[in-house]
Amino acid sequence: MAPRTEPHRAEVIHLSSAHQADDPRIFWRECVGLARAGYAVAFVVPDPRSAEECRATRRHGVDIVPVRRRSGRLARMAGTTAEVVLAGLRRGGVVYHFHDPELIPWGVLLRLLGKRVVYDVHEDLPLDILTKDWIPPILRRLVSHAAAGAEWTAGRLLSGVVAATPTIGRRFPPGRTVLVQNYPPAPAAAGVSGIPYRERQGIAYAGGLTQDRCIVEIVGAMGRLDGFPEARLLLAGSADPPSLLDALAAMPGWARADYRGHQDRPGIERLYGESRLGLALYRPQRNYMESQPLKIFEYMAAGIPVLAADFPAFRDLVERNGCGLCVPPRDETAIAAAIGWLLGHPEEAEEMGRRGRSLVEGSLNWESQERELVRLYERLLGPPQRLGGVLAADPAGTAGPRLGKGTDHAGAR
């Protein structure tokens, strides 16, 4: 058996009990960005492999420290959270940066122990809870209020808050909160596949396959897509619940689906490079209507037009900038008609993709957000010189895949 490799001592420990090791926001953007800035970074995260297979690794200047992934929500909340935090403490970090609401109590405990602690808020938790099917309806409002209270406390006790959207940021104290949005890197390599745009046949969807993300309506629209027999729905992501796949497979539109499961970053980029457009459809719930889905920016970075839900915030981003179309997200006929229009007008659609890519290259890019994150760490730690003389520089380079997220894509909306 090969000996286990212990990760380097790290100044900055990112903690997640619910995400994946290749999460677009946590690993590829934040961890790699901080390592590139010169901080020693570790990312503690559950791993689906067995204990014998789980070994610490070092990728792009970041130590990835795996813990056992437990099945079931309660087991994760009760057991995985503790294991993640204890593994982080063994790394001897100075700043602990956590990414899941279920880690809030542990974050407060770490702060009381004198650690510097940052809460990274990916979603509007109180609103999100109101849509959770696994919480009995009679309890959702009570749980939502309790979550709001927990976040209120965290925002005032912890060392800092990182908010993924302006709407989320407004819920936390301004002096402690930094806005770090889910923009992709620029220039993005996503979409560079060698396949000319007009020869592609794919319709991309990257993210969780769930009813509230309109996967049923999307597959239904594919069954109504007349006149484009070669078009295929390219799907990357995990179904929740897994039994939803059986229901989707019984629909006529599933015959035109190419389901690829969870994909790593190169796999996501290949999918975009085969696609003529990308889908970002959500049921009209407030937590989605006020969000900034990662997939929209990834589609833009890939140079493909976006077909998004007809929400005011999405219209302002997509239609005002001329980089796609918006449709009623529950209307299968309207979705099919919009897909057909984009497929049937390749010159206009390709120009929409160019406009989106230009926006990412010019302003809506990760580089602008990385600067804000580094400024927060300079306030918490000072410039990266390296407590203990340890640097996170990666002699092999830290660029990683230039994406185009996950999806959320396990976690990206």
Residue from 53, 54, 64, 55 nearest 23 by CA: 64
65-94: per-residue pLDDT in tens? 999 888 777 778 778 999 999 999 999 999
Whether 124 and 219 share a structural domain = no
Q: Is 216 domain-assigned?
A: yes
Cis ω for the linkage preceding 409 (within 30 of 0): yes
Pairwise CA distance, residues 141 & 148, whole Å: 10
CA count, 13 A, side-chain hemisphere, 161: 28
Tokens of 105: 């109590």
Other C-beta atoms within 10 Å of 267: how many?
Answer: 16
Bridge-partner residues for 203, per DSSP?
Answer: 233, 277
244-265: per-residue pLDDT in tens? 999 999 999 999 999 999 998 8
Model confidence at 167, in pLDDT bands (50, 70, 90)?
very high
pLDDT of residue 296 exceeding 70, the answer is yes
Model confidence at 187, in pLDDT bands (50, 70, 90)?
low
Q: End-to-end CA distance of the chain: give it in Å, rounded.
A: 40
- Report, as an integer, the average pLDDT of 33-51: 87
pLDDT of residue 153 exceeding 90, the answer is yes
Model confidence at 351, in pLDDT bands (50, 70, 90)?
very high
- Report, as an integer, the average pLDDT of 16-30: 93
220-229: per-residue pLDDT in tens? 999 999 999 9
Helix, strand, coil percentages for the chain (3-state, nearest 5) = 45, 15, 40
Q: Is 241 domain-assigned?
A: yes
Other C-beta atoms within 10 Å of 62: how many?
Answer: 32
Q: Is 248 domain-assigned?
A: yes
Q: Based on the structure, what is the number of domains in the chain?
A: 2
What pLDDT is stored for residue 302 in this prediction? 93
Model confidence at 385, in pLDDT bands (50, 70, 90)?
low
Contact 46, 66 (CB under 8 A): yes
Secondary structure (3-state) at 116:
strand
High-pLDDT (> 90) share of the chain, %: 75
Q: Is 385 domain-assigned?
A: yes
pLDDT of residue 407 exceeding 60, the answer is no
Secondary structure (3-state) at 77:
helix
- Report, as an integer, the average pLDDT of 120-131: 93
Model confidence at 287, in pLDDT bands (50, 70, 90)?
confident
Average pLDDT over the chain, rounded to whole?
Answer: 88
Q: Is 4 domain-assigned?
A: no
- Report, as an integer, the average pLDDT of 357-372: 93
CB neighbour list of residue 282: distance below 8 Å, 6 or more residues apart: 212, 213, 214, 288, 289, 291, 293, 309, 311, 329, 413
Pairwise CA distance, residues 146 & 35, whole Å: 35
Other C-beta atoms within 10 Å of 200: how many?
Answer: 24
What pLDDT is stored for residue 9 in this prediction? 59
Whether 48 and 97 share a structural domain = yes
pLDDT of residue 3 exceeding 90, the answer is no
Model confidence at 402, in pLDDT bands (50, 70, 90)?
very low
Contact 329, 309 (CB under 8 A): yes
Whether 87 and 110 share a structural domain = yes
Q: What pTM did the predictor assign?
A: 0.80
- Report, in angstroms and rounded to the nearest whole number, the Rg of the chain calculated over CA atoms: 21
Q: How many residues does the chain have?
A: 413
Domain of residue 212: give its range: 197-360
Residue from 27, 26, 38 nearest 378 by CA: 38
What pLDDT is stored for residue 70 in this prediction? 80
CATH of the domain at 402: 3.40.50.2000
Q: Alpha helices of 158-214 — where are they, by DSSP H? A: 166-169
Pairwise CA distance, residues 159 & 14, whole Å: 14
Model confidence at 53, in pLDDT bands (50, 70, 90)?
low
Whether 287 and 311 share a structural domain = yes
Q: Is 214 domain-assigned?
A: yes
Whether 91 and 174 share a structural domain = yes
Q: Tokens 């209020």 map to which residue?
A: 145
pLDDT of residue 211 exceeding 80, the answer is yes
Last residue of a domain, one of 360, 375, 391: 360
pLDDT of residue 272 exceeding 60, the answer is yes
Tokens of 43: 């990312």
Tokens of 143: 């749980």
Q: Is 3 domain-assigned?
A: no
Whether 214 and 174 share a structural domain = no
Q: Is 192 domain-assigned?
A: no
Whether 272 and 400 share a structural domain = no
Whether 384 and 298 share a structural domain = no
94-113: per-residue pLDDT in tens? 999 999 999 999 999 999 99
Secondary structure (3-state) at 172:
coil
pLDDT of residue 398 exceeding 80, the answer is no
H or E segment to which residue 89 belongs: helix 81-90
Whether 124 and 234 share a structural domain = no
Whether 335 and 395 share a structural domain = no
Whether 24 and 168 share a structural domain = yes
Which amino acid is located at 128 in the chain?
Answer: D
Pairwise CA distance, residues 314 & 344, whole Å: 23
What pLDDT is stored for residue 404 in this prediction? 31
Contact 226, 337 (CB under 8 A): no
Tokens of 14: 């990112």
Whether 47 and 159 share a structural domain = yes
What pLDDT is stored for residue 395 in this prediction? 31
Pairwise CA distance, residues 146 & 178, whole Å: 24
What pLDDT is stored for residue 2 in this prediction? 39
